[in-house]
Structure 1
Amino acid sequence: MAKRKITNTLALAVLGLLQEQPMHPYEMATTLRERYKGGSFKINTGSLYDTVAALVRHGWIESVETGRDGRRPERTVYAPTATGQTEFVGWIDELVRVPVPEYPKFLAAVAYLGALGPERATDALTERAGHLTTRIEEAESALAATVGAGTVPRLFMIEVEYGLHTWRAELDWVRHTLAEITGGTLSWPRVERTATGWTWTEPTA
Structure 2
Amino acid sequence: MPKQRKVGNLLALAVLSALTQRPMHPYEIATALRSWGKDQDMEIKWGSFYTVIRNMDRHGLIAAVESVRAGRRPERTVYRITEAGRTEMVDWVRELVSTPEPEHPRFRAGLSVLAALHPDEAVTLLRQRLERLEEGIRAGRATLAEHLRQIPRLFLVESEYDLAIREAEAAWVRDLLAELTTGTYPGLDRWRAFHETGELPPESTDLAGGSGGTR
TM range (shorter): 0.7 to 0.9
Q: CA deviation at 1:137?
A: 5.0
Task: Tell me, in whole angstroms, the C-alpha distance in 1 between the residues paired with 2:123 and 2:201.
Answer: 29
- How does the TM-score come out when normalised to structure 2? 0.75
**1:30-75, Cα deviation, whole Å (9 max, x unpaired):** 3333333233212343222222222112111112232233444433
* Structure 2 equivalent of residue 198 of structure 1: 205
Please, what is the CA RMSD of the aligned residues? Answer: 3.0
Write the letter of the residue equivalent to 1:28: I
Unaligned runs of 5+ in 1: 201-205
Q: Cα–Cα, structure 1 residues 138 and 119, in superposed 2: closer, same or farther, change >3 Å?
A: same
Task: Tell me, in whole angstroms, the C-alpha distance in 2 between the residues paired with 1:26 and 1:144.
Answer: 31
Write the letter of the residue equivalent to 1:76: T
- How does the TM-score come out when normalised to structure 1? 0.78
Q: Cα–Cα, structure 1 residues 196 and 130, in superposed 2: closer, same or farther, change >3 Å?
A: closer
Alignment of structure 1 residues 29-108 onto 2, 5 Å: 29-108=30-109
Q: Cα–Cα, structure 1 residues 98 and 199, in superposed 2: closer, same or farther, change >3 Å?
A: closer
Unaligned runs of 5+ in 2: 208-215
Q: Cα–Cα, structure 1 residues 31 and 58, in superposed 2: closer, same or farther, change >3 Å?
A: same
Query: 3-state SS of the aligned residue for 1:129?
Result: helix
Task: Tell me, in whole angstroms, the C-alpha distance in 2 between the residues paired with 1:124 and 1:139.
Answer: 22
Query: 3-state SS of the aligned residue for 1:161?
Result: helix
More strand by share: 1
* Structure 2 equivalent of residue 156 of structure 1: 155
Residues 126 and 173 of structure 2 are in contact (CA less than 8 Å); yes or no, is this contact kept in structure 1? yes
Alignment of structure 1 residues 128-167 onto 2, 5 Å: 128-133=129-134, 135-137=136-138, 139-140=140-141, 143-144=144-145, 146-150=147-151, 153-167=152-166
Q: Cα–Cα, structure 1 residues 198 and 172, in superposed 2: closer, same or farther, change >3 Å?
A: same
Write the letter of the residue equivalent to 1:74: E
Percent identity, aligned pairs only, is 44
Write the letter of the residue equivalent to 1:180: E
Query: 3-state SS of the aligned residue for 2:205?
Result: strand
Write the letter of the residue equivalent to 1:11: A
Equivalent residues, number: 198
Alignment of structure 1 residues 172-191 onto 2, 5 Å: 172-186=171-185, 187-189=188-190, 190-191=193-194
